[in-house]
Amino acid sequence: MNELKKAKSALVSVFHKDGLEPLVRKFHELGIEIYSTGGTQNFIEQLNIPVNAVEDLTGYPSILGGRVKTLHPKVFGGILSRRSLAGDVTQLEEYEIPEMDIVVVDLYPFEKTVASGASEQDIIEKIDIGGISLIRAAAKNFNDVLIVPSMDDYGTVLDILNEKDGQTSIEDRKKLASRAFNVSSHYDTAIFNYFNKDEHTLKQSITESTSLRYGENPHQEGRFYGNLDELFDKLHGKELSYNNLLDVDAAVNLMSEFTDTTFAVLKHNNACGVASRPELLDAWKDALAGDPVSAFGGVLITNKTIDVATAEEINKLFCEVVIAPGYNEDALEILKSKKNRIILVQKNITLPTKQFRTALNGVLEQDKDIKTDAIADMKTATNTAPTEEQKLDLEFASKICKHTKSNTIVLAKGRQLLASGTGQTSRVDALRQAIAKAEAFGFDLNGAVMASDAFFPFPDCVEIADNAGIKAVIQPGGSIKDQNSIDYCNEHNMAMVFTGTRHFKH
């Protein structure tokens, strides 16, 4: 099985010609007979390299506007024939079919065509038929044939041919066959997802991945599937860990809610500090004040370019990651002074609107929670209406609440997060936790507002909030006992608004 096979012929039919020339020249140098068609044939001829037209082999021209070129027994017979079977060899001789030892394919760019916003007709024409068939045939017959399924593999195959003087091992061919079925299955998945409108079938294919140092804990392996370079430019620091990525994801989604100059600090996927201010430095200082203890080792994010003054203050804190749309040159040098600090520039891209999560022996899918509670959504449920200032704070608190683990209560004042109760089994416990944290860091809760991710089944939360000095509340409403909370607020001159939208986050 370790016997090397020397290639005598190659079929080359590719869309992208970039990087193809060195491979074709190597074929010629090794005396490999080349077959090709269409634009690829013209490309090879312009290199002054002999090439056989597939049309001459099959006796048929390229027809139907190029839709049918290589789909012929004289092509596929030479690819699929089993060299060790006498019957196959005899039939090749009988029908004058040459063996194809190497097949080089690069598929029509279907995904790029869809992403470009092209018309449906243009997209349909970029569904490769011949190419995908060639890939599958050559990969199936890996015992005898080497498949080159993508332009990304030209260099790999060139190295193999250079190292082994035009020969390939079964390990080489089987590895590229695996790669080929990865290419073909990814291609078919993209086509299905383009067409699929009604079938509830989960098909996802992500070919790019990064090995992580470990998973959530050192004894767990971890890997990220996707292309982070589409979202970030990494300017400095160590590689992002599994836990870093979860925090960065939470940070990016939270910051997407804000347009005013805002800074946020996150730890274990929850915000421990958020503030919106006219000046970035003030936003940073007030975000940090929300919980300077939890901020240690956290992820920092802002929606504005970081300047020198802000960088100098950030540099006083140990943090894992800093994310911003940009950095002043001197500010960047300051932040780079910590060797392992990860510094990211966030790009402006659209994030997925579907979410997936493994559960039991399957996968859960849901639409992403893209509903943001705005002032226009607030329906005053009490006799006392919130002031304009309170409405701004209620909107601010609700945005944070939406991105905090349930059960949660968020307390805010003056567009600053004072404290939150996160991930509690009881809403009352979440509120008590938030009050205790706010008081521990010296915040005055008089005049603060409270946001809840779900309704209050009892009036206990508004009563506890009232006793702490909180005077305005935002919640979804919808409990059969809403009136009990409304009555308490009316009796104590509290304002409460309903949004009609729950924001559980588990």
Catalytic residues: 140, 268
Residues whose CB is less than 8 angstroms from the CB of residue 90 and which lie 6 or more positions away in sequence, other chains included: none
Tally the C-alpha atoms within 13 A of residue 428's C-alpha that lie toward its C-beta.
6
3-class state of residue 392 by DSSP: helix
User: How big is the CA angle at 289 (ends 285 and 295), to the nearest 5 degrees?
Assistant: 95
What is the spatial distance between Cα 498 and Cα 455, in angstroms, rounded to a whole number? 9
Strands 33-36, 9-14: pairing is parallel
Q: Which of 255, 383, 223, 227 is nearest to 322 (CA)?
A: 255
In the structure encoding, which two tokens stand for residue 236, read together?
């400095």
Residue with tokens 């016997």: 3
What is the spatial distance between Cα 17 and Cα 104, in angstroms, rounded to a whole number? 11
Strand partners for 449 = 412, 472
The DSSP line for 249-266 is: HHHHHHHTT--SSEEEEE
Name the DSSP class of 101.
Answer: -
In the structure encoding, which two tokens stand for residue 246, read together?
């979860």
What is the spatial distance between Cα 9 and Cα 329, in angstroms, rounded to a whole number? 56
Q: Which of 338, 292, 291 is nearest to 311 (CA)?
A: 338
Name the DSSP class of 351.
Answer: P
Strands 495-498, 472-475: pairing is parallel
Q: Which of 369, 363, 79, 343 is nearest to 235 (CA)?
A: 343
How many residues are listed for the chain in this entry? 506
Residues whose CB is less than 8 angstroms from the CB of residue 228 and which lie 6 or more positions away in sequence, other chains included: 210, 234, 240
Decide: 148 and 11 in contact? Cβ < 8 Å. no
In the structure encoding, which two tokens stand for residue 52, read together?
């056989």
